[in-house]
Amino acid sequence: MPRFGLKTLVCCLAIMAAISGADAGILSYGICQSGCNAVVVACYAAAGFTFGTVTAGAGIPAVLVGCNAGLGTCMAACVAAGLLPVP
């Protein structure tokens, strides 16, 4: 088994670091989800409710169903932001 010196290791690591691209997808995903949550909080507030205090059931107002549907669509779109590499 060949033995590599410290200089060879440092050189290889420097080359690998120089050619690899940055991937900030997970950061983009988190920022996107925060934006979705801010919008749904505003939607609930416009309807006169507080987000997180209403349980989904048969008696839920239709406007909140719309807020929740919009949140689901927005969160699903965030997956694309999480998968795309950001330079």
Range of the domain at 38: 23-83
Which pLDDT tens digit goes with each residue over 2-25?
566 666 666 555 565 555 555 667
Number of independent structural domains in the chain: 1
pTM above 0.75, yes or no: no
Is residue 8 one of the residues assigned to a domain?
no
Supply the DSSP string of 62-77, one letter for each residue. Answer: HHHHHHHHHHHHHHHH
Which pLDDT tens digit goes with each residue over 19-72?
555 566 788 888 999 999 999 999 999 999 999 888 777 788 899 999 999 999
Is residue 70 one of the residues assigned to a domain?
yes
Residues 6+ apart with CB under 8 A from 7: none
The Cα–Cα gap between 43 and 71 comes to 10
Is residue 5 one of the residues assigned to a domain?
no
Instruction: Return the closest-CA partner of residue 47 out of 33, 72, 74, 66.
Output: 66
Is residue 16 one of the residues assigned to a domain?
no
